[in-house]
Structure 1
Amino acid sequence: MIDFESIPDKTGIYIFRDKDNKIIYIGKANSIKQRVKQYFIGNQDTRPQIEFIRRETETIDFSITDSESQALLLEYNLIKKHKPKYNVKLKDSSKYPYIMISNEDYPYLSTAYDIDGKGIFFGPFTSGLYVKTLVESLNRIYRLRSCKKILPKKTCIEYQMLKCAGVCAVEEEQRVYKEKIQKIKNILNGGTRGILAAMSDEMNTSAKNEDFERAVVIRDTISFVRKEMRKGKKTGIKDKNKDVFSFVREKNSGAFSILKLRNGTIHEIFTKRFSANVIIDDQTVIGEILSEYYVTTTDFDFDVLVINTSDEDFIKKEIFQNKKITVKRVQEKTSDYQLYETAYENACTALYFSLNRKFIAKSVLQLQKDLLLEKIPENILGLDISHVNGEWTSGAVVSFKNGKPMKSMYRYYNLEKIGNNDYLALSTILKRYLEKYQADMIIIDGGLGQLSSCMKIVKELNKEIAVFALAKRFDILYDSRGNEIMLNGRTSGAALIKAVRDESHRFANKLRKIKMEKIKTNGRKSKNIAED
């Protein structure tokens, strides 16, 4: 019998144990007593796993904390350590780097991969190089101690080389060291925007004080951070900064991704696997994952969290109650949905890789369904020919792997000797490509004549490949027998076909223009080029 009166009405964590004293569930609450009562009195909590927790719980332990944030962190660490069967457990197979400030009177700054009680952590980040460079730059700018063991009693060679300000022995440095650490905390707590803004202020201050060497180091750090930001995929979305969450699960296994949109660019995608008992419902899984992730991250440089659940109010209240962050459900046919699909594909890839299974994109499966194909078209080729009035003829083959462009497999062919003969040009580049590489499906930018010439090559090489032609003018699709196919233009499969056709056209024209520019440069300009 559980004695509810002995349970404190304070903030902290509670631990449910079974008859063998094994931990089966760990939770947190502002009022431990009230939260525990909800499990055992009435039907206030209707989650599927609650009945099992009630039935198996024999004893309850608890720990009081000074704040809810401390309770969150303690809960995270205990779940990670004990792995209770009714909690969602994040897996450590893909460890992400953090920046750590050690818990000491005169802390040091370093890279860490495990969150423990040894310091204050900032992150997680997806790039180890980014963390390493940022830590090195902050150490140089503020001349922090580099020794990670016991603080020495006298200065070392780092002090002599002006890399360290000598906090171990210099009294003046000891007085200002905590201010330096607080500045670094403020910088790292501000996300990318905070880092750039704070660094710019520091650079201007150093320049005014004529400390130009320090100003140059800060300038280079700012350039590095901006360069890293530009590495992300530009979306063209001019909207607020967002985190987009998606997850997938099969039986006890699952994976989630959080896509970070910053200034219209996909800055990074954080992906991790988890395990959860099959009786735990999706909304509980989502809530626990988000709770664990955001208690261990310092990147709140966003205004909106996009999710695919009806539990927006609960997540806002439980996770972002003290932050100006909006939680909204993703809607189809919006820019948010495109970002959500990208996050979902990353989560699926992580899960299926761990299960030794191959992830197939939705658009590829839809294409198989639309065209009634026997085989999943994982490898799709797009063919196009480009020329100007029969001159400077060139051919292009683009490759899509699992619904995405695989640019390492793009090929370009110089066909000047063929001239204005699209049929011969297409059959030539197809034969040369298929003699070296494999394909499941071919999409030709053209009509029945182009289709017929390519089918001869496929039969000649004895290949089993689905071949289709997509006419530009009316977007009519022909199969290998010349039959017209009516596609639902709204499906992801139809969109994939057009994407392959458009990419082959873009690639062919791009290389043809490069070729023409070279001819112009060599002084071989002609009337035909001028007309183009």
Structure 2
Amino acid sequence: MMNPKLKELRAKAMALPLQPGVYIMKNAQGEIIYIGKAKKLKNRVSQYFGSQNNHTEKVRRMVDNVDDFEYIITDSEFECLILECSLIKQHTPKYNILLKDDKGYSYIRVTNEPWRRLSYVLQKADDGARYIGPYKSSYYVKSSVEEANKIFGLPTCNRRFPEDFGRYRPCLNFHIKQCCAPCTGRVKLKDYNERVENALEYLSGDSSKTLRELQERMTVAAEALDFERAAHYRDQIAAMKKMRDKQKVVDIHLDELDVIAVARQESKGSATVLRFNESRLYDTENFIIDDIDDEVDFRSQFILRYYTLRQEIPSHIALDGEIEDIENTERWLSEKKGKRVYLSVPQRGTQKNLVEMCRKNAFESLGQLKGVTGRQLSVLDELKDLLGLEKIPEYIESYDISNLAGADNVAGMVVFENARPLKSAYRKFKIKSFSGQDDYGSMAEVLTRRLNEYKKAQEEGVSTGFGRLPDLILLDGGKGQVGAVLPVVAASGLNIPVFGMVKDDHHRTRAIVSDMAEIALRPNRAAFTFVTNIQDEVHRYAIGFNRQQRKRVLGSSLEEIPGIGKKRAKELIRFFRTIKNISNASLEELEQAPGMTHPAALNVYNYFHEDA
């Protein structure tokens, strides 16, 4: 229901000044439901109360609930940004992007028992265990404890010691040298506790110091001819060095770096933050946000909300795309940190690779909500950017025409939903408006019939099958096919992107074409593979339908022969494959076909050898 106060609110908005400021939307109960900023208050606020056709669903819902609004004029756009962040943090309005500051503290837990265990927990418990911490980064605690257990061979299973000594065989961790296997009963408690103490030193202090101490112990053991213990220290040193090398996954030449990437599908958004310090990933966070309309706005608002809740701000922040008002955002972050902060969208090198990794993680988190993989969502996002689409093409329809020298003219339609074939939505078409070979005319007819079916489904209230519009149409063909279909789509009044898929001389997919230009696919490996799969699938489906039609026609001609029904005609086609082979077959060969008798075979032979 449209807001009855829309005209009144628009009149009030038109009286606003053309100055920077913050506007505050309230509902009928006086609650603040949205806070925004504007370079020119009049222009921005009046847009909300004009035509609702251009608004997204989220904005329409918000406008329907607005009863009144207030505004605060500021001296500059930068003051706008600061005031907006402060007010949003204070009032947490319903329609703003909000992040919960749920970064609780994490602890390292050391059990209070002879055979101590190390683990990470989010809360302390009154259980007599020792807790080391607190730590702000749960990712750091989790990964560090896992590293310590692997390096020093501490068990992570549920077996109890000494109750389970000798009851079980050592698990896989023992065989890959990640556990000393106290379950065998062969490990002395003294040696086990030394491992625990080494692990605690490693977790509590400088790993370089722990490494030096282990090397000293190895030297002492070797000089005392205790080669077994020296080998034990040697293995721990090797494990520590291997783990330390593994941790240095990046060479960014920066003391501090945050990498931020966002992913969006329909109205759901995901934002991932990877935090690096001294070339090492020390924290990772992911957020799922509802009611996302625009990716640039989502990224911009997320950065403001995220660093409003964080005290640790790095000197460099790498982003996966543009944001609004980057200069003032940099200035706000710099003042909050007390040092210069740089925002960038890397185009090459290590930071670009980190951004891509971060974006894949954002899509992975989003994909889990829909039961698909992040890789599938990522390839759709790549295709969206490649084709310049407004949104991710979740629902793709692809068409191909198949005939044999102009005969048995048919078409196949395949559907891919979230980058996977949706075979229940596949459809077959027989070309009806003409005979002969005309791929352009055939494609135009098929799309006309498909869009007419959509209109019928809408009238009947059906939203599945033909009642659902595709986000993208891909045709097996070039500019000619695209040019034949675009007028059909335009005449329907619908806005559906249409592209063709062209092959090279070796019948391999090489590019996507519009009615104006050709887009190379090979540099975009994931998109190339995906589009190739679609083209191969629609081609297979259309040719399969064409073959079925030919067999049906051949079978119906055989049914004119006395004694040959549908079943025998089908068996003859299956056995001889073509009418020509049947007509050239001898009487004895015809009798060998499944289900054939001598009289039936004689009738078939006489039918094709009438002159003889």
Does TM-score exceed 0.5, indicating one fold? no
Radius of gyration: which is bigger? 2
Give me the TM-score of the superposition, normalised by structure 2: 0.33
Higher fraction of helix:
2
Give me the TM-score of the superposition, normalised by structure 1: 0.38
